[in-house]
Structure 1
């Protein structure tokens, strides 16, 4: 998969340059491009395709006359709330929030139109915790109840024989906490660990004297699991296919750029992070964090049933049918134009 993505990178870039702004020729019509696209994302390195797409102008170039308004969120459930309320049209989110909104709405809320990032999450703990047996009675943070890392933490703890509760308590207390706050609490010794995405894993290791107890990659076949996908509201996807295609053109251009310019990626990502947060990451942090990430258009659709099972078992989601979760038709059209291989929806949607 990695080789094929690298091979089509140059072709994708050329195709997108040729396509230019064709996706937004008639902004505002009911059946044409939307006048505005409101996009959610996080200031995490697992959202590098969004950060690069915004910083390098790939989205605005592809969208043409369609106005792009981007908004940063702290975790997936918050972005999903905004999407459900009609405050945004699309968002980069983790698998668990995407699955939750799809199941809760009986498939009517949103569809995944592309993958974005594989890897980049881990359980980081304080000194003195060296094995799962040391976790009894501890307090561990996750970004938000029901988000992808929260589900991963609760599922792993269950596999180790620990009971948790979504309302607090249990053998191990899981405390949904904003990433920056979790960093401060672990650094000051007020919590014992946290299951977080990058760059927070690397920041805790390099800046808070913490260490990795569990690499999430070790829990998945071939070490590959999705941490970020591109989700679009179902109504928006239906009503504005030209705009969705333009968004995907910007997205695939960003993925191609990341894979073709690994030595330049840190500086571009850091520039966007500094603009959003007021402070860039340390060079050592971003270098360590990017080493564990892989950027791809493939959402790894065959992992989503597993993600749902884990969420149900952890008490953060209800079971449901995932048929229709993916609409990869436009993505595969873009890839085909660049002589790329099609991406599978694993029987869970169109491709």
Structure 2
């Protein structure tokens, strides 16, 4: 009898363990791992670009708004020139959070099977244009021409290739990739005839190299709204250090508030950062034009992400659309917004799998 009772208990334990394991898998594997708040992190490694489309990041860094909120957590900012490089750093574990374009943000989520990163806030909407030589007046005029984007698979690269496909011009236009500063020089020399660029580079080509706007990407989205820059964080970092993530988000809220209440001060902060990072500040006409083309916003416009994922397929950058269900985790942001008496941001269903 004693032996039978032991065997019965063992079988029951095994069945319960099996059911528990099935339940974890059914609910999404690692997503069900219990969150253990380890308190404030010792360090936050933050990625960003030296672009006006990353104005919120630049303001937060220049004005010390992130550092102030982070307190004893050491802030280590790292500059990147394009999204795919930053994705590699996030997935490789050498970066904790990053301001990044929507295209690479989706790629980071897809490459890790929805595990490694989470979308936690917006930063910038708008601010990307297809600028062309003065004698190009229609999409068909681009046939046989060279069009530049910042990097293969980055946000503007996807936008350009999707637009070319929609216009029936896929394969008719030479698409190449250059760093933004090199694109400006190549356009001035006549080596390239068009470029799909983020701000301030589209404005620099217009004001410094005689380009004109053929397409403002705002024209391609409902209500002119599309996410150019968002903030993502490593999932494990979010679980381990929710207080630190909230502190980062409070700094972001303060940076965007400053841009809204003190435009000249915010522009000066961005320009100072750009000079430190690139060796050159923007002229007043350039930064004014670039600023007019962007909207700093905490809203990542999550409802556009399924379409953005499909656009990458249309563009030929990916073979299948990434499943972005469950990508957004705006709980930390909305906690901060409630504490500040501000309206919460809608995840548009992207918080559920």
TM-score w.r.t. the length of structure 2 is 0.88
Q: Deviation of residue 224 (structure 1)?
A: 1.1
Contact between 1:89 and 1:236, CA under 8 Å: does it hold in 2? yes
Aligned mates of 1:210, 1:198 — CA distance in 2: 14
Uncovered stretches (5+) of structure 1, i.e. residues with no partner: 1-28, 164-169
Contact between 2:253 and 2:298, CA under 8 Å: does it hold in 1? yes
Aligned mates of 2:54, 2:230 — CA distance in 1: 9
> Is 1:234–2:235 an aligned residue pair?
yes
Secondary structure of the corresponding residue to residue 168 of structure 2: coil
Q: Deviation of residue 181 (structure 1)?
A: 0.9
Q: Which residue of 2 aligns with 1:211?
A: 212
2:103 to 70, 78, 96: 96
> Is 1:339–2:346 an aligned residue pair?
no
Within 5 A, what are the aligned runs for 1:1-351?
Answer: 31-163=38-170, 170-317=171-318, 318-349=320-351
Aligned mates of 1:276, 1:135 — CA distance in 2: 33
Q: How much is the aligned-residue C-alpha RMSD, in angstroms?
A: 1.2
Secondary structure of the corresponding residue to residue 245 of structure 2: helix
Secondary structure of the corresponding residue to residue 131 of structure 2: strand
Q: Once structures 1 and 2 are overlaid, which stretch shifts more, 296-305 or 309-318? A: 309-318
Q: Deviations over 1:242-297 (max 9, x none)?
A: 11111111111111111111232221111111111111111110011101111110
Aligned mates of 1:95, 1:152 — CA distance in 2: 11
Contact between 1:103 and 1:319, CA under 8 Å: does it hold in 2? no
Contact between 2:306 and 2:323, CA under 8 Å: does it hold in 1? no
Q: Deviation of residue 65 (structure 1)?
A: 0.5
TM-score w.r.t. the length of structure 1 is 0.88
Q: Deviation of residue 314 (structure 1)?
A: 0.9
Aligned mates of 1:190, 1:307 — CA distance in 2: 30
Aligned mates of 1:190, 1:171 — CA distance in 2: 17
Secondary structure of the corresponding residue to residue 271 of structure 2: helix
Q: Deviation of residue 30 (structure 1)?
A: 7.0
Aligned mates of 1:264, 1:251 — CA distance in 2: 16
Q: Whose Rg is larger?
A: 2
- List 4+ stretches of structure 1 deviating above 2 A: none
Uncovered stretches (5+) of structure 2, i.e. residues with no partner: 1-35
Aligned mates of 1:310, 1:80 — CA distance in 2: 19
